[in-house]
Amino acid sequence: AATFASLEQTPDYNSAFMSLETGAVDAIAVDIGVAQYQLTNHSDKFRQLEEPLSTEQYAIAFKLGNEELRDQVQATLDEMVEDGTFDAIAANYADYNLDQMVCLGKE
């Protein structure tokens, strides 16, 4: 952020893309999935940097003590990996390094 002339935050992705499209801003930073979707539908208007600006990890959180729901979600994810559903969904994001994007684990 220190290298930018100014840094603005917008309330949602649509506002950010509208600002970019109208020339109100020179660039925007968004999640990779949002960028991929916009590029799929508007590749003539936008382009993506080759290197990510940053990376971050996301997790699924459950209310403390709700082991039943946690275990149900984990079991479903494990089943999806076993039957190939997980890989089929992940194939939609083949342009990205899935080993770095997805981590299924148990604590």
Q: Whose CA is closest to 67, among 106, 96, 16?
A: 106
Q: Model pTM?
A: 0.59
Q: How far is CA 40 from the centre of its chain?
A: 15
What is the chain's pLDDT, residue by residue, as a tens digit (107 residues)? 778 888 889 999 999 999 999 999 999 998 877 888 888 888 888 888 888 887 777 788 999 999 999 999 999 999 998 998 988 887 776 555 555 566 665 55
Look at the alpha carbons of 88, 89, 94, 97 in this order and tell me if their dihedral is positive or negative. negative
Question: Hey, where are the domains in the chain?
Answer: 1-54, 57-107
